[in-house]
Amino acid sequence: MYKTAEIAYFTMEIAVNEDIPTYSGGLGMLAGDAIRAAADLKVPLVAVSLLYRKGYFFQRVDPREGQREEPVNWIVEDSLTELEPRIHVAIEGREVAVRAWQYLVHGAGGFEIPVLFLDTDLEENSDFDRTLSDVLYGGDSYYRLCQEIVLGMGGVRMLRALGCNGLQRFHMNEGHSSLLTLELLDEHLALRKDGAVMAEDIEAVRKQCVFTTHTPVPAGHDRFPMELATRLLGEHRAFELEEVFVWNGQLNMTYLALSLSHYVNGVAKKHGEISRHMFAEYKVDAITNGVHVATWASDPVMALFDRHIPGWRDDSFNLRYALGIHRSEIQNAHQLAKNQLIDTLNREINAGLDTAVLTLGFARRFATYKRPGLLLHDSERLRQLSREVGALQIVFAGKAHPQDQPGKEEIKHVLDLRETLRPDVKIVFLENYDMAMGRLLTGGVDVWVNTPLPPMEASGTSGMKAALNGVPSLSVLDGWWIEGCIEGVTGWAVGDGQTESGNEHDDGQDAASLYEKLEHDIIPLYYHDKDRFAEIMRHAMALNGSFFNTQRMMLQYVLKAYFI
Ligand SMILES: *Cc1c(COP(=O)(O)O)cnc(C)c1O
């Protein structure tokens, strides 16, 4: 496995299964789905991430106080296998020992891809260094840079220690792992006698590296003061190359990855454009994200595929042939998935939901740019729609980053309106949104709602999970939905898509458009024209499921970035 690996995929977070809480949201889900697709396609790849013994956090939600965070308790030994090698990285002059835990991802045909979780919780390390594998996106910039040294530089060393000598490409899934470029440069410099770093050294590293940028939101782009960087990393001779390694006196992980990769991409067509504006001096392509079909299809929908679409696990393009499945079968499979969701919620949290009522879903990280409150912008209008046009119920879920006060306020806002709208619109907020819940929700609601503030949603993926389950989206035209939305065929657009940067986006206008679509299209179809609603479900599944999946995405990485 290690000797034959040709691609190394580096990521700060990854969701490999429901029991391993080493992810915060879309970035980690995407990494997991990418690896699962690579295993289906037998791409010789190995993935590297960090272990987080306390996870991201466990979310509790209290009506008065909003979100509270608790460490997640999980037993590493039960889920992962410890590997033998120990490597060291130098941090501020300390030699920090690192080990790796292995998880094997199995493809549809049995091909295996190892995922390495790097861990510093070893006796020989100081108490502080042992905490470096505690939490994801916690701590200050000192803590974060230490983690990124372990991930980027430690990751390359661990791969070498495991015998990975045939690696052709290093893929940085977002900039957190950019320091791997420094390690590759050191490997290269070690091959010849001492001297300054030359253009050909930089070129040799560039040939090996691939970078995917995932967000236009500034918090997603790590920067460290150069003073901190040199304190932790030492006076590396590469730092003399200011145009590559130093930006405005900072070590900028995004620019580092941009400068040292031969292929760079954004994660949807629109996001590629936005990124070309942000990083005008670089060539930036686009590969639109996807989701892994066998991971996100509900049990009843998997059974439906098994009956009608032979080979769908090996080849997701086959979802196209959902066009030949009778509408009533799609409806029935969906109703079963919906019953599963609602029975679970009623049993476990006494949600009081009704399986016959049109159910909207909104679940993702609670960041302000995702505008979780937009659906509730005019609560009286929503109440009136539910009373007079057709009954509505809404399921919300999602975590706010522990330091994101405005994001936490959004959660409280939803909890407040839950009371206001009782009993006309039943609103449920599910605690601790995770992978298992994501699967239940995206397959079980009737319409998936997404309302980001353009152009901040680079891609978004949960609407893709919904689509392959036959659940259409009602979404703002941003990210993947610009490509996936055919109005009234695969779902519905909120607003008119005039999202060129500079244009003010008005919450009131977007909310009004959303209510219009509910009033004139969605609610009437759902209650009075089941056949046409089912036709839209079928198109969501066939047209969007067959394209917005990670098998297609991984093939594009293979063709454009890995093996060229
Ligand atoms: C899919 C998923 C996400 C990402 O959702 P987006 O729509 O891309 O924001 C986040 N969290 C969980 C648990 C998910 O399943």
Averaged pLDDT for residues 37-53: 98
Strands of 425-561, DSSP E:
426-430, 447-450, 473-476, 491-494
Looking at residue 501, its pLDDT comes to: 47
pLDDT in tens, 170-180: 999 999 999 99
Distance from residue 504's CA to the centre of ligand 1 (Å): 26
pLDDT in tens, 356-413: 999 999 999 999 999 999 999 999 999 999 999 999 999 999 999 999 999 999 999 9
Distance from residue 389's CA to the centre of ligand 1 (Å): 30
pLDDT in tens, 273-291: 999 999 999 999 999 999 9
Looking at residue 496, its pLDDT comes to: 78
- Predicted confidence band at 451 (pLDDT cuts at 50, 70, 90)? very high
For residue 278, give the amino acid letter: M
pLDDT in tens, 129-188: 999 999 999 999 999 999 999 999 999 999 999 999 999 999 999 999 999 999 999 999
- Please give the class, per CATH, of domain 354-548: alpha beta
Only one residue has tokens 């059974």, namely 303
For residue 110, give the amino acid letter: G
Close Cβ partners of 143 (under 8 Å, ≥ 6 residues apart): 131, 132
Is the model's pLDDT at 342 over the cut of 80? yes
Residue ID of nearest Cα to ligand 1 atom 10:
25
- Predicted confidence band at 498 (pLDDT cuts at 50, 70, 90)? low
Mutate which of 22, 29, 296, 480 to test ligand 1's pocket (most atoms within 8 Å of Cβ)? Answer: 29
Helix and strand element counts for the chain (H, E): 23, 20
**For residue 505, what are its two tokens?**
């986006």
CA distances (Å), origin 364, targets 430, 438, 439, 441, 450 = 11, 9, 12, 11, 9
Close Cβ partners of 511 (under 8 Å, ≥ 6 residues apart): 374, 375, 377, 378
Given the CA of residue 437, which atom of ligand 1 is nearest to it?
13
- Predicted confidence band at 504 (pLDDT cuts at 50, 70, 90)? low
Least trusted range by pLDDT, from 19-33, 37-51, 78-92, 495-509 = 495-509
Calculate the CA 253 to chain-centre distance: 19
In this structure, are residues 458 and 479 in contact, taking their beta carbons and an 8 Å threshold?
yes
Distance from residue 182's CA to the centre of ligand 1 (Å): 32
User: What ranges in 150-215 are assigned the alpha helix state H?
Assistant: 155-161, 180-190, 199-208
Three-class SS string for 79-104? HCEECCCCEEEEECCEEEEEEEEEEE
Is the model's pLDDT at 423 over the cut of 80? yes
Close Cβ partners of 559 (under 8 Å, ≥ 6 residues apart): none
- Predicted confidence band at 249 (pLDDT cuts at 50, 70, 90)? confident
Is the model's pLDDT at 502 over the cut of 70? no
Averaged pLDDT for residues 444-457: 96
Query: What is the pairing mode between strands 66-70 and 58-62?
Result: antiparallel
Looking at residue 193, its pLDDT comes to: 73
In this structure, are residues 157 and 87 in contact, taking their beta carbons and an 8 Å threshold?
yes
Distance from residue 89's CA to the centre of ligand 1 (Å): 33
User: What ranges in 350-425 are assigned the alpha helix state H?
Assistant: 379-384, 405-421
In this structure, are residues 60 and 68 in contact, taking their beta carbons and an 8 Å threshold?
yes
For residue 162, give the amino acid letter: L
Mutate which of 23, 364, 368, 480 to test ligand 1's pocket (most atoms within 8 Å of Cβ)? Answer: 364
Task: Show me where the domains of the chain are located.
Answer: 7-290+553-562, 354-548
Close Cβ partners of 84 (under 8 Å, ≥ 6 residues apart): none
Averaged pLDDT for residues 211-238: 91
Looking at residue 240, its pLDDT comes to: 81
Work out the mean pLDDT of the chain and round it to a whole number.
95
pLDDT in tens, 390-404: 999 999 999 999 999
Given the CA of residue 26, which atom of ligand 1 is nearest to it?
4
Q: Do domains 7-290+553-562 and 354-548 have the same CATH topology?
A: yes
Residue ID of nearest Cα to ligand 1 atom 14:
438
Residue ID of nearest Cα to ligand 1 atom 15:
438
| Residues in contact with ligand 1 (CB, 6 Å cut-off) | 25-26, 29, 364, 433-435, 438, 460-462, 465
Distance from residue 347's CA to the centre of ligand 1 (Å): 24
Calculate the CA 441 to chain-centre distance: 16
Q: Does domain 7-290+553-562 have CATH number 3.40.50.2000?
A: yes
Mutate which of 293, 462, 475, 553 to test ligand 1's pocket (most atoms within 8 Å of Cβ)? Answer: 462
Say if pTM beats, i.e. exceeds, 0.95: yes
